[in-house]
Amino acid sequence: MLSQQELKQRVAAAAVEYVLPFMGADVVLGVGTGSTADLFIDALALHRQRFKGAAASSERSAARLAAHGIKVYDLNEVQGMPVYVDGADEMDAGLNMIKGGGGALTREKIVASVAERFVCIADESKLVERLGAFPLPIEVIPMARASVARRLELMGGRPQLRSGFVTDNGCQILDVAGLRIDVPASMEAEINNIPGVVTCGLFAIAGANVALLATQQGVRELRRPS
């Protein structure tokens, strides 16, 4: 039986094969953040001469790309990208996701919004029937932390400050357990409208277009329902 690390390596390699047809001398790829994205970057480096560079969703990923000799572009320099590749903490059959376990949710959402398609790469443990077992990360402006937490409690959540953590944007993360996420896009909009919220880790209004899911039987490709 393959370990979770081996499954991640397998799906990272599959993701590189998926993006190869989009590569070209003028192409900038979007790259996410996390342990699976790290493996994707490592595998992508073997093809660094086939594309222009990458836009990263975190300082961590930017450093890893640069270490492999891949040019990293500020997103303000990028007009568009054919594809953005990133992992997920949870994903349902509709390719709605919870992201932000690594704290890069806001930049992930921004970079993904510039790409023509979002490809989620994950191992089979991330596929769930309903989102919410993984606490929902919410990036907040520090002065609003307590007021946002009170609003989340009224929604049935149990928010907890991610202690000692500051995002690349200089903000804080509330990890919220106990939310009943029946309609992910509606909850995403509701939370994002709370004053002081930068963004929440629900990716449902604009979820993944394609998911590559590593299983013991191989890598499955799932598509977002139209």
Report which residue type is found at 137. Answer: P
pLDDT, tens digit (0-9, with 9 covering 90-100), for 143-199: 999 999 999 999 999 999 999 999 999 999 999 999 999 999 999 999 999 999 999
Is residue 60 within 8 Å of 32, Cβ to Cβ?
Answer: no
d(CA 213, CA 220): 5
Task: Read off the pLDDT band of 207 (50, 70, 90).
Answer: very high
DSSP 8-state class, residue 127: B
| 126 carries a ligand binding annotation | yes
pLDDT, tens digit (0-9, with 9 covering 90-100), for 16-37: 999 999 999 999 999 999 999 9
Is 116 a catalytic site residue? Answer: no
Q: Could you tell me the CATH superfamily of domain 136-201? A: ACT domain (3.30.70.260)
In this model, does residue 226 exceed pLDDT 80? no
| 175 carries a ligand binding annotation | no
Torsion of CA 41, 56, 137, 220, to 10 degrees: -40
d(CA 41, CA 29): 11
Task: Give the other-Cβ count within 10 Å of 65's Cβ.
Answer: 23
Q: How far is CA 122 from the centre of its chain?
A: 10
| 92 carries a ligand binding annotation | no
| 102 carries a ligand binding annotation | yes
| 34 carries a ligand binding annotation | yes
Question: Is 3.40.50.1360 the CATH classification of the domain at 4-128+205-223?
Answer: yes
| 201 carries a ligand binding annotation | no
Helix (H) or strand (E) holding 158: strand 158-161
Tell if the pTM clears 0.85, that is, is over it.
yes
How buried is residue 87: exposed, middle or buried, by Cβ count under 10 Å (0-12/13-18/19+)? buried
d(CA 145, CA 78): 33
| 101 carries a ligand binding annotation | yes
In DSSP terms, which residues pair with 222 in a beta bridge? Answer: 211
Of 108, 116, 188, 221, catalytic: 108
- The residues of the chain that CATH labels 3.30.70.260 are 136-201
How buried is residue 66: exposed, middle or buried, by Cβ count under 10 Å (0-12/13-18/19+)? middle
pLDDT, tens digit (0-9, with 9 covering 90-100), for 65-107: 999 999 999 999 999 999 999 999 999 999 999 999 999 999 9
CA distances to 20, 87, 92, 211 from 220, rounded to whole Å, are 18, 15, 14, 8
- The residues of the chain that CATH labels 3.40.50.1360 are 4-128+205-223
In DSSP terms, which residues pair with 115 in a beta bridge? Answer: 81
